[in-house]
Structure 1
Amino acid sequence: MKFKKHLSLLFILIIVAVLSACSNTSASEKIYNHLEKAVELEEEFEKQQDKIVKLEKKEQNIYSKIIDLSMDDFDKIKKLSDKALKSIEKRAEKIEMEKESIHASKEEFIKIKDLIDQLENKQAKDTAEKMFSVMMERYNAYDKLYQAYSKSLERETKLYKMLQKKDLKQETLSNHIKKLNNSYEKVIDANKTFNSRTAEYNELKEKFYKQADIKVEYEDNASSKDKNNK
């Protein structure tokens, strides 16, 4: 009976030791795990980039063909417009996939907030706080980019539907194209902000890893990714 009690006590001690070892994982290591998980969750965002750019080029080619045609080629204009509309639908789907990826990354990233206060190294803590702030600005910048891009998609859709009307007036078309170009300018501005925050965040993350003595091997240009070349 005593043997069984000692055995039970030993088993309990082993469990306590294991739990203690898990809880002893440093705050910096936990932060590292969340940061790298956030990167993994953005892989879908990364994958959609080239696909979106290809669709954009395809639509630009279609538009170039349309403006070279006259109203005598209305049937061709209509067919080309249909192709453009289908391409826009695909792009809209990919933008939604991109957004979901970014938002999943954000949910993972914000888990480091409470861990930052647990850092003992003051330099690493200060850098982590800046890193957190910049990354949140990056997520906000993406939301603005998403909104601007979605608006441009709406106006592109309207453009190609307008081109399918025989009674379309030149003035109406010109006014809409001005609005569309304005949308593109907003996308470009939002994209620049997003890219700037991405570069700033990556620099701070690399700095944090060095200060927290976390050994990380970077691939070429991996620490300064510049995405969303819309």
Structure 2
Amino acid sequence: RLRQSVLEAYENQDYPSTSLVRQILELPDDTRNPGSFLSTIVCALTPLHDNGNIKELDGQLIFSFNREENVISGSINYDLNIYEEDFIRWVSRHVENILEKALKDINAKIFEIAFLTEAERKRLLLEFNDTNREFPGNMTIHGLIEEQALQTPDRIAVVFGEHCITYRHLDERAEGLAAALKEYGIGPDSIAALLMERSLEIMIGILGILKAGGAYMFIDPDYPRDRINYMLKDSKAKNLLVS
């Protein structure tokens, strides 16, 4: 059986990576350029692949491994015009990490092996997502939006589906709504209800109410009528905004 496996390995030693991708992903034979990035990567193992042949391979990134008794050594040859040394070192660390975990559990499936190191995982989950910021205690939400509108007026502030609005337009429309709400009695110690589907208008409504000095209460249009009536009565909302 071992002899048969070795013979089959030699027979398929130059099996194209694109064909391998087609077979693994069960893609049709006429699929164009599957895994085009893989076509630039070569993986070789001596003595299965001859060292002389490995040097002649035309690959932008070549992983070559050598097995002697119970020791496997490896090297990476890469195109300096495409890859930087730091990136190759990053790749090599992940290869080592994957091999180490695979050797600890030889029955582990490839998709179960995390290629990130613990340090990288910590950076991604904790450090990169550490978005806590200190703000002045007297700064309001709508005040922050106004400040951002002055600094980056044309930057996108809100995205909903295929629609978006800039900080400038968001602040201008909220300011116009606030002026209208004040005429209807919205101000400090008053509540305005928002009865509308989720949309860009909700953000305009919330900011407009806050700018007017009031508090907002969101009501889902899918709530039963009795529930909506109770919320309006119990909150003593002065105004109801609908889309």
**TM-score by structure 2 length?**
0.18
Q: Answer 1 or 2: which has greater helix percent.
A: 1
Q: Which entry has the higher C-alpha Rg, 1 or 2? A: 2
**TM-score by structure 1 length?**
0.18
RCO (CA 8 Å, sep 6+): is it higher in 1 or 2?
A: 1
Q: Answer 1 or 2: which has greater strand percent.
A: 2
